[in-house]
A and B are shown apart, each in its own frame.
Chain A
Amino acid sequence: MNGQRIVALAWKEWREIIRDRLFFALAFVVPAMLMLLFGFGLTLDVENLPFAVVDYDKTAASRDYAYRFISSRYFAFQGYAADEHDVDALLADNQVRMVLVIPPRFDERLGRGEPAPVQVLIDGTFPERTQTSMGYVAAINSAVSLDNMAHALSRGRGIPLAEARQRVQPVKLEVRYLYNQSVKSIWSLAPKLIMLIMMLSPPFLTAVGVVREKESGSIFNIYSSTVSPGEFLLGKLAPYVAISIANAMFLWLLATWLFGSPFKGDPLFFAFATVLYVICTTGIGLVISMLVQTQVAAMIVASIVSIIPAVLYSGVLLPLPSLSPAASMLAHALPPMYYTNIVVGCFLKAVSWHALWVEVLVLAAYAVGLFGLGYLLFTKRPKA
């Protein structure tokens, strides 16, 4: 290992990157753009769900009941439909995602103190949205039911309404939302976006950067020089690691300032873990670049290899406990999940080394393993 050669190579690579202005600009613009885009656009809150009402009862009670949905911010009322046959086309054409059907004798049954059925038709195309909407429907229905029960009890027993309310609801549930007390998506999302974007961008940059030399043939200059494989890899990758660390810092600033995510953890610990993670993801790019010959292939492989685990198996969009066993194994075998734990821990939970040392260790092992693999795959005497 000759430090001077490494520096010279890194300098050469850096010059090459900054001379390609569009590439250089995009290397910084893309991560920031993704952060803004996902931060503002990727809300997981289900709101304004378009719905229609079919009211066969047409009484004050049924209208009151429908109004509970109409006035909710979770639903966006699209109008009354005459009967159930009309709603088929509305659901099929995505004009509404839910239809509330209030059957005849709704008012009459409730008036007699009997349970009244209603029908809810939900578009099941997007299962997660469907579940969330079903949760909203259940909440509204149980509120209405409790109200009705309390009124009935108050009338029947001649007790004040407040007391009746208490009696029909002997157990109350208080929910305490930990780590993110407002359950606002963006708070919990923005930190995880750092993980996501730092999984996408470094492998891509690195893979393309290395394969570019292969495809243009300039790598033969390296092959025929005295530079050793280790020196080449360190020098070549240093600028990409540096760019990615700068990007990660910028994303951290966006998360805390622009999106207002709280950062409760230890900044030093977080910086250390982030550098490790960036080295890991750069290493993924390195291994890819050793396996492919063309830049197109490098880009495809980098996108497929990094997007899927980052989006699906890291716990950002999808709950980890609900992964299938095979997917769960895959999630545990890849770095994004560990870094997600670190990010969430540092931002939202204020935990540090004592809770996260395993994660850090795994990332370190990953970094060493990937660079080792890249080193083994790199040979100065290619076949053919």
Chain B
Amino acid sequence: MSHMTNGGLLSVAGLRRLRVMTQKELLQLFRDAALMVFFLYSFTGDIYMAASGVSMQLKNAAIATLDGDRSFASRELASRFQPPYFQPAGSVADARQAIRRLDDGDVMAVLDIPPRFQERLQRGEQVSVQLQVDTSNSVLGFLTSSYGAQIVGKYALEAAAQREGLGAAGGIAGPLVEADTRVWYNPNQNDAWFMGISELLTVVTLFSILLPAAAMVREKERGTIEQLMVTPLTSFQILFPKVVAMTLVILAGSAIALFGVLGPLFQLPMRGSLVSFFLITALYVFTTAGLGLLAATVARNLAQVGMLTVVILMPMLLLSGAWTPIEAMPPWMRGLAWISPLHYFLDAAYGILLKGVGMDLLWDSVLAMSVLGVVVFAAGMRRFSRQFG
């Protein structure tokens, strides 16, 4: 008798209870109009903004010239700083004006060509030109100096070839090493692909933690959990439908983002199997929802859940490797990245969508995510049963 009413996981009654509870969760979710509006916005407008708005590359960096020579050679050198990387932003009269324009953030760099540049060049002396770079943003500063060095290096080599007679029919002949660089998976360096996928994963993570945790704590806060506890439902039958409902909604959101935004508007290639992408997404949502439920067993009210969500979400985002390459992190942090499910999901998502890899390469990520999911979910269930069992 008691066995029947407790409804084993696979019994007919058990399955029906799961279905009914899932429906209840979905209904509750859909009734929060403001939440649903923002849910939709997160998977469409927000991802569109991230994918379209941002480029991580140096484009059109304003550069001013402090030309102390005003010769043919100095103008030739200055004129080589051109789009796409640079944008000439006029000339400055003296060093003070140069610093002022850099201070104001008006220009990114100032190219300083010394007096008698052409004369000394022709006499065979070595001349130094200076590039002053605003490195308040260190990535940008690095790229500016890197491109600047390439431009000046090329100019210098051509000048040398001309002077020393190394040039062979216009070009430079010599024991040079010439790199033919090929960029794989994203040959045009399309930032929208990287940013779009990264934003999608962030949004999925946010909702996977917050929605189930909030659904749980809301029941605690309002006392409806007590009502559920006096029903024949087991703690699994109370917790699992919440996760199933949120997973369904989040998968739908991801599908909208992929087929409604990233695919048609940004030509995201989606080279691998989409079935495995959605399966892995479901697994990831499940795993991450486990973290949310664990947080929900700690929190007493929604405000606490919110703060705990930030505590969980931010390290996960950071340790995923999307912003900072894992290999550049300090070793102890690299260790932490191995327990962040997002790290595995990121590998899998970029792998499937951009690289077109299959399960033969992704099985380790899937396995790691499953293990994490089971551990976290079991811990959440245990704490929940202790609190209310």
Contact = CB atoms under 8 A, between A and B. Distances in A.
B320 to A, nearest CB: 11
B186 interface: yes
A7 interface: no
Nearest to B202: A307
A79 interface: no
Interface in A292-313: 292-297, 299-301, 303-304, 308, 312-313
A94 interface: yes
Given A45-B328, A142-B153, A208 B302 contact: yes
Contacts of B157: 145-146, 149, 168-169
Nearest to B322: A126
B194 interface: yes
Nearest to B98: A178
A135 B306 CA distance: 42
A303 B314 CA distance: 11
A129 interface: yes
Interface string A84-98: 000001011110000
A105 to B, nearest CB: 13
B319 interface: yes
A319 B58 contact: yes
A71 to B, nearest CB: 16
Contacts, number: 405
B124 interface: yes
B186 A127 contact: yes
B355 A125 contact: yes
A368 interface: no
A209 interface: yes
Contacts of A215: 302
A212 interface: yes
Contacts of A318: 54-56
A81 interface: no
Contact of B105 (A117, A137, A170, A341): A341
A308 B46 contact: yes
Contact of A137 (B59, B179, B311, B357): B179
Q: How large is the interface on A (under 10, 10 to 19, 20 to 34, 35 or more residues)?
A: 35 or more
A113 B184 contact: no
Interface stretch (B12-20, B139-147, B227-235, B367-375): B139-147
A92 B137 contact: no
A322 to B, nearest CB: 4
Interface in B137-190: 137-143, 145-150, 152-153, 155-157, 159-160, 163-164, 166, 172-187, 189-190
A114 B173 contact: yes
Interface string B115-136: 0000001001111111111111
Contacts of A300: 35, 38-39, 42, 206-207, 210
B65 interface: no
A184 B184 contact: no
A299 B57 CA distance: 32
Interface string A19-48: 010110011011001100110111111111
A349 B54 contact: no
Interface stretch (A223-231, A249-257, A323-331, A370-378): A323-331
A216 to B, nearest CB: 8
Nearest to A42: B324
Contact of A41 (B146, B207, B310, B318): B318
Contacts of A44: 138-139, 324
B142 A42 contact: no
A173 B327 contact: no
A37 B318 contact: yes
Contact of A125 (B58, B124, B186): B186
Contact of B133 (A43, A176, A216): A176
Question: A50, A135, A171, A293: which has the most chain B beta carbons within 10 Å?
Answer: A171
Given A20-B301, A119-B179, A172-B128, A49 B52 contact: no
B330 interface: yes
B136 A179 contact: yes
Given A125-B186, A296-B210, 20 more contacts: A26-B308, A30-B307, A41-B324, A92-B351, A116-B176, A127-B186, A130-B183, A137-B179, A145-B177, A149-B157, A153-B164, A170-B121, A170-B125, A170-B127, A173-B152, A204-B310, A208-B306, A292-B35, A318-B55, A326-B53
Closest 3 CB pairs of A and B: A327-B53, A135-B146, A128-B56
Interface of B: 32, 34-35, 38-39, 41-42, 46, 49-50, 52-62, 77, 102-105, 108, 121, 124-143, 145-150, 152-153, 155-157, 159-160, 163-164, 166, 172-187, 189-191, 194, 203, 206-207, 210-211, 214, 218, 221, 298-311, 314-315, 318-319, 322-325, 327-330, 333, 347, 350-351, 354-355, 357, 361
5 contacts: A127-B189, A127-B190, A144-B177, A166-B126, A175-B148
